[in-house]
Amino acid sequence: MPLINDNFLKLSDSYLFSDIARRVNAFTAENPGASLIRLGIGDVTRPLPEACIEAMHRAADDLSRQSTFHGYGPEQGYDFLIEAIIKNDFEPRGIKLSNHEIFINDGAKSDTGNIGDIFHHDNRIAVTDPIYPVYIDSNVMAGRAGILGTDGRWNGITYLPCNESNNFVPSLPSERPDIIYLCYPNNPTGTTLTRDELKQWVDYALANRSIIFFDAAYEAFICETNIPHSIYEIEGARRCAIEFRSFSKTAGFTGVRCGYTVIPDELTASASDGSPVQLNRLWLRRQCTKFNGTSYVTQRAAEAIYTPEGKAQVKANIDYYLENARIMREGLHAAGMTVYGGKNSPYLWLKTPDGLGSWQFFDILLKKHHIVGTPGVGFGPSGEGFLRLTAFGKRDDCIEAMRRIKATCHD
């Protein structure tokens, strides 16, 4: 009889957001007239930029003509998109990249989950806590996580708590990890690292021969000048970091699916005999085997983000969500609640009132006030006592949600 990968049996039966959906569906089935405001899953509500829509139409027309038809594309992406990325996302920040160092994908979630394919199962990983669940679950699947303890922590993973006591800035590990996951602006807390704070991590990784997986999916929401948009703004990062980017929240591509991963030539890890191996080459080989590439139509749409019209339309959408975040942050403060994030990020990290647990407060918001958030404990043990809200809703819904939450605090 075929054997399964037993590591999958270590996972809980459902992904965090699947569990939330199950609870919400049960509530709506019992309360069909309830007017739900969904501020839990970070899905966008604004339409795609018009420049992207027009580009998709033109690309679809290309596929209707023999002279411009495209079949299989390059697994690592078309040069027209890669060159637009380099010219617009990196060159203005003084970062030099070659085309082959960028890999187009179907969203950052895929590559952050799959990047472990090219690393040995014995690597020790370190994660900030709370954390995006995919980082943990993908390492459980690969056999790196060990055993889940009663405290909600895996014994094979080094946890770096981010909480009020350290202003949500993780401390450097006391024991050396092989791989470090950093996500900034952070999901779920909405907090950021300054240039000096990120430099400490790059210096640590270089000194300890660790590799940083840097998830910059929300960099477009950064407003303050002392917060880096890319880890490669820090000297030496090309030798110790892989960066993940996404168009999902930048341009509303949550349903279209497109992003990219950067793996510089200088980045190496050791083979079992101790010899250095270029990770760019390994990832290219992995992608050519397991990924057929992002569609031509999608990549043409992503390219349009970088046109003058596309830039203006993307900025308008981001400004809209940041204004939602401001309204929510000020509304929560006015209600007497403690909240973090929401300034350089679309996420707000709300401290639950009266010492309530994350799921307790989730249920109160859902059942009494018909608001859907995300329990902080679902992102890790240090998330207990918090709830994540997103600013991706419609403006009227964000305003109404703040009115309802204010009422919650006075029940």
Tens of pLDDT, residue by residue over 394-409, are: 999 999 999 988 876 6
Closest CA to 219 of 189, 253, 186: 186
Tens of pLDDT, residue by residue over 204-236, are: 999 999 999 999 999 999 999 999 999 999 999
Question: What pLDDT score was predicted for residue 183?
Answer: 98
Percent of the chain predicted with pLDDT > 70: 99
C-alpha 54/C-alpha 301 separation (Å) is: 8
| Residues 317 and 73: beta-carbon distance below 8 Å | no
Tens of pLDDT, residue by residue over 249-264, are: 999 999 999 999 999 9
pLDDT bin (cut points 50, 70, 90) of residue 4 is very high
Question: What pLDDT score was predicted for residue 330?
Answer: 97
C-alpha 405/C-alpha 403 separation (Å) is: 6
- CA 190 and chain centroid, separation: 11
| Residues 352 and 361: beta-carbon distance below 8 Å | yes
81 contacts: CB under 8 Å, gap ≥ 6: 104, 299, 300, 302, 303
| Residues 189 and 347: beta-carbon distance below 8 Å | yes
Question: What pLDDT score was predicted for residue 406?
Answer: 84
pLDDT bin (cut points 50, 70, 90) of residue 102 is very high
Is residue 75 over pLDDT 80? yes
C-alpha 227/C-alpha 205 separation (Å) is: 19
Question: What pLDDT score was predicted for residue 72?
Answer: 96
Is residue 411 over pLDDT 60? no
Based on the number of CB atoms within 10 Å of its own CB, is 291 exposed (0-12), middle (13-18) or buried (19 or more)? middle
pLDDT bin (cut points 50, 70, 90) of residue 241 is very high
Is residue 100 over pLDDT 70? yes
Percent of the chain predicted with pLDDT > 90: 94
Q: Rg for the chain (alpha carbons), in Å?
A: 21
Question: What pLDDT score was predicted for residue 300?
Answer: 98
C-alpha 103/C-alpha 259 separation (Å) is: 9
* SS3 of 329-380: HHHHHHCCCCEEECCCCCEEEEECHHHCCHHHHHHHHHHHHCEECEEHHHHC
Token pair for 275: 């010899």
C-alpha 386/C-alpha 187 separation (Å) is: 13
Helix/strand/coil for 209: coil
Handedness of CA 295, 301, 307, 313 (dihedral sign): negative
| Residues 261 and 113: beta-carbon distance below 8 Å | no
Helix/strand/coil for 144: coil
Helix/strand/coil for 203: helix
For the beta carbon of residue 63, count every other beta carbon within 10 angstroms: 13
Question: What pLDDT score was predicted for residue 288?
Answer: 97
Handedness of CA 176, 180, 183, 186 (dihedral sign): negative
Average pLDDT, integer, range 321-325? 98
How far is the first Cα of the chain from the last one, in angstroms, to the nearest whole number?
58
pLDDT bin (cut points 50, 70, 90) of residue 43 is very high
Residue-level length of the chain: 411
Question: What pLDDT score was predicted for residue 18?
Answer: 82
Question: What pLDDT score was predicted for residue 12?
Answer: 84
Say what the pTM is: 0.96
Tens of pLDDT, residue by residue over 163-204, are: 999 999 999 999 999 999 999 999 999 999 999 999 999 999
Closest CA to 45 of 306, 320, 246, 274: 320
| Residues 144 and 122: beta-carbon distance below 8 Å | yes
Is residue 383 over pLDDT 70? yes
C-alpha 254/C-alpha 172 separation (Å) is: 33
Mean pLDDT (the chain) is 96
C-alpha 376/C-alpha 389 separation (Å) is: 10
